[in-house]
Chain A
Amino acid sequence: MEALINILTISIPVVAVSWLLPERWQMLPVVVATALFLAWVSPLSLMVLAVTTLISYYTIKVYPSLTSAVLIVIIQITAIFLFFKLELGLKGALLKEAIIPLGLSYYSFRQIHYAIEAYKKQLPQHTILDFISYLFFLPTILIGPINRFQPFLKDLKRRRWDSTLFSLGLERILYGLAKITVIGNWILVFKFNNFIRSIRLDYPWLADYLNVVKYVSNAYIQFAGYSDVAIGLSMLLGFKITENFNYPFLATNIADFWRRWHISLSNWCRDYVFYPFLGMTRNGVISIIMSMLVLGAWHEISMRYLLWGAMHAVAISVWHKYEGKAIHRKLSQFPLVQKGLGIFITLHFVLFSFVLIMEENIWESIELYKRLLFI
């Protein structure tokens, strides 16, 4: 929350100065403010981002073989990502402390996306300044979304002062902040938590169940709120950034859930893990498992997140198998029942899976599973 307030405070002069400057200098205050913000809260992150940005751009630009250049960039970014994420995963078990560069997960995936698009020759003409503007973009540096380079560049070239977009941006920031402070921090974390505590002695099972509901809904509200602020801030600067959530708890099946929850990350995994693996192996199940494992590892490289990813992979595979069965076709004759049942089952599977990541370690999660399943 503190970092978000800092970003918002910095953004007020940045947005004003940006629109007052001549067109070719308009991104300069945004890039400088991002660098200063990172230097202030996470100097390590600034160093990693600056070095990888230059290496990624110039390797692809200058290196004679495009395939080797792209491979160098991907290996470089993946190695840095794995190093810090493994450090985080080992925290508690082997290490006392782990320092993770702020926003690493987002900008490393953006750079891998850039490298793969360069390999596919899908990148339009651009300069190093465009690439720096893309990676040093204050609204999305902290908590995403993992926006793509091509739409960003399009907005960068075409953006003009638009009062409607500006007011929509302000509205979006207000909604985002209201989600975080009122619904998330006040209603869910404080009020709902107190209610759960008050019933724990009399109804222990219900308290455990509601605790999982609280964790998942708070995770959604906080993340969706932060995304709203990021999208709103981008609008203030004239950029339309990709949406990250679309009512995920109304998903009627688990594949639908991943089209609605953290959309930018699941689309990234679909495009850069699922499709390449499908092309190589011609096996949908293996491709789903690989992409969900990457999705889990993106959060943290630890047993609980890998299991969480694997659990979702199994569920998506089961759903795809079920889709072809006669019972699914039969149930389709009752669309309302199918939809209601779909939402109920999907939501409860999601709640069930989040138990794995809501506790400090896997053993505590197992204890909670035992209590929830009356074992």
Chain B
Amino acid sequence: MYEYLTEKIGDKMASVIMAIWYFCLLYLVLFFLNYEAGLFNYLHW
């Protein structure tokens, strides 16, 4: 993805977009892990 973005919009913008993408994913993972801890208890995960 990074290589594709670098080709299309340049090195700097690609790095910014990748950083935002990683932070979004990390936020989602942490959010859902936190969510699961209460919500999914009954599923015995």
Q: Which residues of A contact B (CB under 8 A)?
A: 1-2, 5, 171, 174-175, 177-178, 181-182, 185-186, 189-190
Contacts and interface: CB of A to CB of B under 8 A. Distances in A.
Contacts of A186: 32, 35-36
Q: Residue among B26, B43, B45 with the most chain A CB within 10 A? A: B45
B5 to A, nearest CB: 14
11 contacts: A5-B33, A171-B22, A174-B22, A178-B29, A182-B28, A182-B29, A182-B32, A185-B32, A186-B35, A189-B40, A190-B40
Contacts of B20: none
Contacts of A175: 25
Given A1-B45, A190-B40, A181 B33 contact: yes
A85 B38 CA distance: 33
Interface residues of B, number: 13
B interface: dominant SS: helix
Task: Sort A-B residue pairs by CB-CB distance and give the 6 closest, nearest first.
Answer: A181-B32, A177-B29, A1-B45, A178-B25, A174-B25, A186-B32
B28 A185 contact: no
A191 B40 CA distance: 12
A169 to B, nearest CB: 13
Contacts of A185: 32, 36, 40, 45
B39 interface: yes
A174 B32 contact: no
Given A185-B45, A189-B43, A1 B36 contact: yes
Contacts of B40: 185, 189-190
Contacts of B29: 174, 177-178, 181-182
A190 B32 CA distance: 12
A221 to B, nearest CB: 13
A2 B33 CA distance: 10
Interface in B1-45: 22, 25-26, 28-29, 32-33, 35-36, 39-40, 43, 45
Contacts of A171: 22
Contacts, number: 34
A174 B28 CA distance: 10
Contacts of B39: 190
A239 B5 CA distance: 27
A312 to B, nearest CB: 28
Contacts of B25: 174-175, 178
Given A1-B45, A185-B45, A189-B43, A174 B36 contact: no
B26 A181 contact: no
Nearest to A177: B29
A175 B45 CA distance: 20
Q: Residue among A2, A5, A177 with the most chain B CB within 10 A? A: A177
B12 to A, nearest CB: 17
Contacts of A181: 28-29, 32-33, 36
A223 to B, nearest CB: 14
A2 B41 CA distance: 12
Contacts of A5: 33
Contacts of A1: 36, 45
A186 B36 CA distance: 8
A325 B2 CA distance: 45
A174 B32 CA distance: 13
A174 B35 CA distance: 17
A228 to B, nearest CB: 12
Given A181-B33, A181-B36, A182-B32, A174 B26 contact: yes
A178 B43 CA distance: 19
A174 B33 CA distance: 13
A181 to B, nearest CB: 4
A190 B36 CA distance: 10
A264 B20 CA distance: 34
Contacts of A182: 28-29, 32
Contacts of B33: 5, 177, 181
